[in-house]
């Protein structure tokens, strides 16, 4: 089995919001990265922000700072 | 934070895993453990150990026979009895299959270029998460930009390389884009090797 790690996953209503989140986070050195949204969250297609769970406050503040609407937050092993 | 170096080069599985477990047993607090090994299967097995304990892990290839796995242990990490858990000391078979992935552009699909770049990053991430990794990933034309400095996919590609996936980038393409000095992962290849790799593949994936 490949290693599975506990990660914070932030989902968005639109792909453009996910891409805006990536831009904002890279510019502001916010931890995490964009990944395809895990199947455990939705069977649909989309991108999500993945970060260490302990960075939740920083990530949520970044979304607020970038005026990016979040659809949901999850902590799961991926 | 404490940094522990385990040099397991010259040892075959399960010794690198056992040496890493022993090193983890001796730690008093959060630490980084660097395990140095000389083969890709050992990288896969030590990476699996980190995964079984939930530790963040990355790996990279330093030379043809020198790989390093970095794991971050947040706390003393031995099992309840202080003994390694039996399921951790496994010599799993090689994760590599015989698939070749041909990346011909830094953008996946046709349409919006920015979306295509986001999709390609997602593709390479998902590729690195496969249970059976590809044998080789070829990068040519615009795909060459993904293996060079500044690419956001380097972590995924380095991790796959350390597990034995060949990362090959077209030298003509690097030269054309002025990126010859900026290759950050894998090796440079030429058209003969590209054709031989494609011709010898059981299956080719072209994102």
A19 and B118: CB-CB below 8 Å?
yes
Position B74 scores a pLDDT of: 80
Position B57 scores a pLDDT of: 87
Contacts of B107 in chain A (CB under 8 A): none
The whole-chain average pLDDT of chain A stands at 91
Position A42 scores a pLDDT of: 82
Q: How far apart are CA A25 and CA A31, in angstroms?
A: 7
- For chain B, which ranges sit under pLDDT 50? 77-82
A3 and B115: CB-CB below 8 Å?
no
Contacts of A14 in chain B (CB under 8 A): none
Contacts of B94 in chain A (CB under 8 A): none
Residue in A3, A5, A15 closest to B115 by CB: A15
The CA dihedral of B4, B17, B48, B106, to the nearest 10 degrees, is: 60
Q: Is B9 on the interface with A (CB under 8 A)?
A: no
B51 and A35: CB-CB below 8 Å?
no
pLDDT digits (tens, 9 = 90+) for B55-110: 888 888 999 899 999 998 886 644 444 455 666 666 776 767 789 999 999 999 99
Q: Which domains does chain B have, with CATH numbers?
A: 2-88 (3.30.110.40), 99-205 (3.40.1260.10)
Confidence of residue A24 (pLDDT cuts 50, 70, 90): very high
Q: Is B122 on the interface with A (CB under 8 A)?
A: yes
Q: Tell me if the bond preceding B206 is cis, omega within 30° of 0.
A: no
Domain limits of chain A? 6-77
Position B81 scores a pLDDT of: 41
Position B85 scores a pLDDT of: 65
A34 and B122: CB-CB below 8 Å?
yes
pLDDT digits (tens, 9 = 90+) for A30-59: 999 999 999 888 877 789 999 999 999 999
Q: How far apart are CA A14 and CA A32, in angstroms?
A: 19
A36 and B114: CB-CB below 8 Å?
no
Please report the ipTM that was assigned to this predicted complex: 0.78
Residue that the structure tokens 């059976």 belong to: B132
Q: Does CATH number 3.40.50 belong to domain A6-77?
A: no
Position B29 scores a pLDDT of: 81
Residue in A4, A18, A35 closest to B51 by CB: A4
């Amino acid at each position: 089995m490949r290693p599975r790690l506990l990660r914070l996953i932030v989902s968005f209503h639109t792909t453009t919001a996910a891409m805006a989140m990536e831009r904002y986070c890279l510019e502001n050195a916010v931890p995490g990265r964009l990944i395809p949204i895990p199947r455990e969250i939705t069977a649909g297609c989309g991108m999500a922000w993945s970060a260490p769970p302990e960075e939740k406050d920083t990530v949520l503040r970044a979304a607020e700072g970038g005026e990016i609407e979040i659809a949901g937050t999850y902590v799961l092993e991926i | 934070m404490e940094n522990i170096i385990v040099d397991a080069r010259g040892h075959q599985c399960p010794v690198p895993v056992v040496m890493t477990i022993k090193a983890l047993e001796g730690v008093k607090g959060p630490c980084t453990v660097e395990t140095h090994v000389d083969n890709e299967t050992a990288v896969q097995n030590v990476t699996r150990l980190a995964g079984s304990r939930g530790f963040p892990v990355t790996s990279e290839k330093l030379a043809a026979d020198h790989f390093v796995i970095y794991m971050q242990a947040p706390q003393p990490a031995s099992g309840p009895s202080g003994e390694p858990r039996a399921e951790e000391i496994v010599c799993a078979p090689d994760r590599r299959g015989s698939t070749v992935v041909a990346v011909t552009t830094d953008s996946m699909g046709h349409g919006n270029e920015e979306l295509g770049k986001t999709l390609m990053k997602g593709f390479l991430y998902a590729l690195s998460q496969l249970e059976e990794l590809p044998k080789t990933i070829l990068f040519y034309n615009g795909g060459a930009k993904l293996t060079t400095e500044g690419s956001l996919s380097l972590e995924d590609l380095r991790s796959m390389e350390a597990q034995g996936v060949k990362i090959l980038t077209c030298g003509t393409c690097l030269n054309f884009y002025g990126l010859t000095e900026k290759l950050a992962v894998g090796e440079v290849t030429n058209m003969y090797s590209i054709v031989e790799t494609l011709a010898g593949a059981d299956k080719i994936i072209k994102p």
